[in-house]
Amino acid sequence: MLERGHHDMGGLPAGKVEPTEHDYAEWERRIDAMVQLLRGAGQITVDELRKNIEALPPEAYDKLSYYEKWISSLTQTLLQRGVITTEELGRKMEEVAGRKK
């Protein structure tokens, strides 16, 4: 028998869902655009993105926002496919961190 993943709320009481509209931050729009462009170019699939979101550890899954989960999943998918390397990612992260100083 398969064990229920932390993300799987199907059939469990979770409280009322309050749908709300909000403006998206620029970084959220950029992540959405990147995902759509990469999907359109055949570099990633929705199934890969979902799998990598569902693979997040429970503490990360509960802590991260919707688009933060997308960032994590997109990063893992691009690493798994060999589109980027961990070295390239690390260099870029250092570069971006240096911009804030």
Mind listing the pLDDT tens digit of every residue in the chain (101 residues)?
667 666 655 566 767 878 888 899 999 999 999 999 999 999 999 999 999 999 999 899 989 999 999 999 999 999 999 999 999 999 999 999 998 76
pTM summary value: 0.78
Residue 57 in tokens: 């550890």
Q: Where are the domains of the chain?
A: 26-99
DSSP SS3 for 36: helix
Q: Domain 26-99: what homologous superfamily?
A: Nitrile hydratase, beta subunit (1.10.472.20)
48, 77 Cβ separation under 8 angstroms: yes
Task: Give me the pLDDT at residue 6, please.
Answer: 65
d(CA 61, CA 78): 19
Locus of tokens 């999943």: 73
Q: How would you class 44 by CB atoms within 10 Å of its CB: exposed for 0-12, middle for 13-18, buried for 19 or more?
A: buried
* Distance from the Cα of residue 29 to its chain's centroid: 13
